[in-house]
Amino acid sequence: MPEVRDDAEPTPAPEPPAAAPAAAAAPSDTGWLRVSPKYVVVEVVGSLIGMVVFVGAALILYAITGQWWALWAAIVLGVISLVGIAFEPRRVRSIAYRLREDDLLFRRGIMFQRQVAVPYGRMQLVDITRGPVARALGLADLKFVTAAASTAVTVPGIPVEEADRLRDELVALAETRRAGL
């Protein structure tokens, strides 16, 4: 509130101090790019195929041998598969990547989260793969390979045009930032 002096001229209140630099340097969770929502279809189709194969095998075993445990196994496998399919949309929403100045960050997972940083200078190969369902939906998987086997990262469910553009951009960045290779 401004102070009032005897001559009735208000003086401005002192300005609040500027935000501390530490607050500005706090890590933010913005800038993450998510995979295409159509990738849910790819995951659901893959899960349904797996469910049909395993439940079908258990039912065939029950039909041939008459063992009741095979029927129960088919029921349990079917229920577990359907619960897994119900979680597919949330699992796909958890997949994201971010291009930073020196590296690419990739994260995925709901309960067991994984976050990997791949330095551009260490990338040896950037590969695009497309399965039949993803191809029908116009999606591709972008795979980054480095010298360390544990850092091979695959970003699934990227639209084909974006995957091509991203591959070219990352190859150019990798060429300019080769680190000791």
Q: What is the pLDDT along the chain (181 residues), one digit of tens a residue?
A: 444 444 545 555 455 444 444 433 334 556 899 999 999 999 999 999 999 999 999 999 999 999 999 999 999 999 999 999 999 999 999 999 998 888 889 999 989 999 988 888 888 888 999 999 999 999 999 998 887 766 678 999 999 999 999 999 888 888 887 755 5
DSSP H helical ranges for 68-141 = 68-93, 132-137
Domain boundary residue, one of 58, 75, 92: 92
pLDDT value of residue 51:
96
pLDDT value of residue 171:
87
Burial class (CB in 10 A: 0-12, 13-18, 19+), 146: middle
SS3 track for 26-62: CCCCCCCEECCCCHHHHHHHHHHHHHHHHHHHHHHHH
Domain boundary residue, one of 65, 92, 119: 92
Under 8 Å between Cβ of 43 and 92: yes
Give the Cα-Cα-Cα angle 159, 149, 157 (nearest 5 degrees). 15
103 domain-assigned: yes
Under 8 Å between Cβ of 58 and 73: yes
Residues 100 and 171 grouped into a single domain: yes
**Domain span holding position 50:** 36-92
Residues 112 and 172 grouped into a single domain: yes
pLDDT value of residue 97:
93
pLDDT value of residue 151:
63
Q: What is the pTM of this model?
A: 0.74
Domain boundary residue, one of 45, 72, 92: 92
pLDDT value of residue 128:
93
Residues 45 and 61 grouped into a single domain: yes
